[in-house]
Structure formats: structure tokens, C-alpha cells
Amino acid sequence: MANEFAVEMQDVLKQFVTPEGGILSAVDHVTMQIKDGEFFSLLGPSGCGKTTSLRMIAGFELPTSGKIMIKGNEMSQVSAHQRPVNTVFQQYALFPHMTVEQNIGFGLEMKGVGKAERSARVSEALEMVRLPGMEMRRAKQLSGGQQQRIALARALVNKPEVLLLDEPLGALDLKLRKEMQLELKTLQREVGITFIYVTHDQEEALTMSDRIAVMSKGKALQVGKPEEIYERPANKFVADFIGETNFMDGIVKGQNGKVVVVDLPGSGEVRVESSRTFTSGQQVSVAVRPEKLRLNHEIEGGNNLKGRVEDVIYIGTDTHYGVRFPGGHKLRVREQNIKQSQKELARADDEVTVGFSTTSPRLLTE
């Protein structure tokens, strides 16, 4: 393999002048490496710099400083249409009165590809997106989901090394969106093209990606596999943005090897395993997922905090309990409703224990 990385961003900065005359760093010194054949997602809230990153990779914007490499080649002197990438946007912008074949084959025609080859490649692209034989339909006669597939076929027909997708499913309703997520993932595996996928939807990113970069305010806060990002978030933003997390503020009392003792003032002490070293008196946030907590179920050798139930919410698959501790700390506990006629484990105002192992929480400092 010539180059292990499909795309590299090296210390990329992109600044814009704001309408008020200030300077905004839309992408703020981002370094990341996207492997060949990977399904890689840029995930973060609106305005965090996802589209700007994608536009720089595509060549529609140039970095203020830093480098972009595609397949090992530096891109600053390479124009957008010379780069081995194609982009699929949320607004798929098909030509409504043209046929599917004309829409998909348009770019090839511009490049001077002959009719016979064009037609063969369009058919092949239509097979890939599971719409074989649709060549003669008009774009405007297609449903939203079909139009998005055509937009995808239009990008795939160029056989790019890298496909850039900017919230491509954003316009679809939830059910179709879920179907298309699985299809896109399967398609990516089949064609083996590197996908860089932009989304603000954490569940979508977890479902589809080999790796995810979580972005906030122009910075890439953490890059990792879905389970790494979920199980070992690097900071509070990532822990909060991906899934649901409880945070309890505490003060480190001491550390014995891997086990850190944290005082939650007024609510008790917890012991948490960590590979990091903490100092006594240090402020930390004990971050723990609701599904890792057990209600009224002692965890031997773990933490068992006594508190009072504030609210109970039944949501079918699970029941959620809000438990308040004497020092004001609160935990949301999620219990799966496994038995058919599961009784609530507790009711509002009940005194309960919340149990969790020493390996369940993360100690976060930023």
C-alpha cells in the first residue's frame, strides 16, 4: 500500500472575518489522519467547523495555515476538480427535468467520456445504490430517498478515492434515515472507498463509523472508535455530547495505586479506578453513564450510595429513575425492563441505594 492515509489534516487553521470585523477560527489547528478505506465521521454541534473542514478537503476553501494531504500528496496547489474526491450534500441539487441517466452522467459528459462508457458506468452506479434500471426516470419524479441515492450515484460514478458526505440524510424522515444509514454503511464496505461523513447526530455517527472525530468550536476534541469515544470520553464535552452522562462534582481525597477516592461533599465517598494520577484536594467530575448504575442492588467491592428517588419515568424498554443524594448530587439511573410484567424497582420518595463498580465512572478534569 503506497499510503496508509487517505486524507491528513496537519495543524489546519481556517479563519474568517466576521460581519463585525472580528476574526473567527472556524477550524482551529486541527490535526487528524483518516485511513484508507475508513468510514470516518466528523461529529459536533452546528457551527463547530465540520462543513468548513470538508470544504477544505474538497478544495472549495484553502486553509489559512496548515496542510491538507490526500493520498500522501499536498493539496495547496491542486484545484477542487483535480482532487480525487467527490462531495454529496444535504441539498442534493439534481437537475429536476433531466433524466436519472443525464444527472448521473453529467460530470462524465463534461469530461468528454464517450456515450457507451458513460452509459455502462451510470448503470453500474445505479446498481450500487440499489436503483437499477431507473435511467430514464426524471429526477423530479423520484422520492426524497431515491433522489439522495441518485446524488450518491452521481458522486460514485467518478470513482473517487474519497467521498465527502455533508449531512446527506438530513432532509429525510427518521425511518428512511435509519434505513439509509445501514445501506450507506454496507455500500461503503462493498465499494471500499474512504467516506468522510459529516453529521451533528451522535447516534448516526456511532451507528455508521469506523472512527469519529468529535468537534467543538473548531477543535477536534477526541478521535477514536465509537466504543472508545463512548466508554472513555476525554472530557466533559465529549461525555455529554455522546449519549447521556451523569456528572457529580467532587474532591480527590487520595489515591492508592489505580483506585482514586473522591469525596462528594455531603453525599459520601466513591472509589474510581483510573490510570491517571490525581493529587489530594484536586477538583474532579465523576462522570458515569445511566445504564451502568443499579438501583437497590449492592455492588460488592463497588460504590453503593444512599439517596432518595425524585422521579420515575417509564419509557417502555427502560425505566429511568432520578435519585438525589444528601449533598445535592443527582444521578439518573436506567434500568432495562427485562421481565414482561416488571414492577417498578422504586417509587418517588423511596430511600434507595445506587450501586456501581469502581470501573464504571471516568474522572474528568476539563
Ligand X SMILES: Nc1ncnc2c1ncn2[C@@H]1O[C@H](COP(=O)(O)OP(=O)(O)O)[C@@H](O)[C@H]1O
- Give min distance, CB of 261 to Mg ion, in A: 44
- Give min distance, CB of 166 to Mg ion, in A: 6
Among ligand X, Mg ion, none, residue 66 binds (CB under 5-8 Å by kind): none
Q: What is the DSSP letter of 11?
A: E
The C-alpha angle 351, 353, 358, rounded to 5 degrees, equals: 160
Residue nearest to Mg ion (CB): 51
| Rounded CA separation 333/204 (Å) | 24
Of 91 and 141, which has the nearer Cβ to Mg ion? 91
Which string of b and e fits 4-31 if b means at least 16 CB within 10 Å? ebbbbbbebebeeeeeeeeeebbbbbbe
Binding site for ligand X (CB under 6 A): 16, 24, 26, 44, 46-52
Of 206 and 213, which has the nearer Cβ to ligand X? 213
> Are 208 and 185 contacting, i.e. CB atoms less than 8 angstroms apart?
yes
Instruction: List 65's β-bridge partners, or say none.
Output: 13
Q: How many chain residues touch Mg ion (CB under 5 A)?
A: 1
Length of the chain: 366
Among Mg ion, ligand X, none, residue 361 binds (CB under 5-8 Å by kind): none
Residue ranges of alpha helices (H) inside the chain are 50-58, 100-110, 115-128, 144-156, 174-191, 202-208, 226-231, 236-241
> Are 242 and 214 contacting, i.e. CB atoms less than 8 angstroms apart?
yes
- Give min distance, CB of 355 to ligand X, in A: 39
Nearest to 147 by CA among 107, 95, 205: 95
| Rounded CA separation 331/290 (Å) | 7
Of 5 and 16, which has the nearer Cβ to ligand X? 16
- Give min distance, CB of 159 to ligand X, in A: 27
Of 101 and 166, which has the nearer Cβ to Mg ion? 166
Among Mg ion, ligand X, none, residue 307 binds (CB under 5-8 Å by kind): none
- Give min distance, CB of 211 to ligand X, in A: 18
Of 51 and 147, which has the nearer Cβ to ligand X? 51
> Are 340 and 281 contacting, i.e. CB atoms less than 8 angstroms apart?
no
Instruction: List 318's β-bridge partners, or say none.
Output: 336
Q: Is the dihedral of CA 87, 8, 196, 289 positive or negative?
A: negative
Among Mg ion, ligand X, none, residue 16 binds (CB under 5-8 Å by kind): ligand X
- Give min distance, CB of 126 to ligand X, in A: 30
> Does residue 86 interact with Mg ion by CB under 5 A?
no
| Rounded CA separation 1/13 (Å) | 29
Of 47 and 327, which has the nearer Cβ to ligand X? 47
Of 51 and 303, which has the nearer Cβ to Mg ion? 51
Cell output for 252: 480527590
Q: Specify the stretch interacting with Mg ion by CB under 5 A; choose among 26-34, 43-51, 118-126, 170-178.
A: 43-51
Cell output for 73: 500528496
> Does residue 202 interact with Mg ion by CB under 5 A?
no
Look at the block and give the residue holding cell 446498481. 127
- Give min distance, CB of 25 to ligand X, in A: 9
Of 37 and 47, which has the nearer Cβ to ligand X? 47
Of 168 and 226, which has the nearer Cβ to Mg ion? 168
Burial of residue 217 (number of CB atoms within 10 Å: 0-12, 13-18, 19+): middle
- Give min distance, CB of 358 to ligand X, in A: 37
Among ligand X, Mg ion, none, residue 26 binds (CB under 5-8 Å by kind): ligand X
> Does residue 51 interact with Mg ion by CB under 5 A?
yes
User: Where along the sequence are the contacts to Mg ion (CB under 5 A)?
Assistant: 51
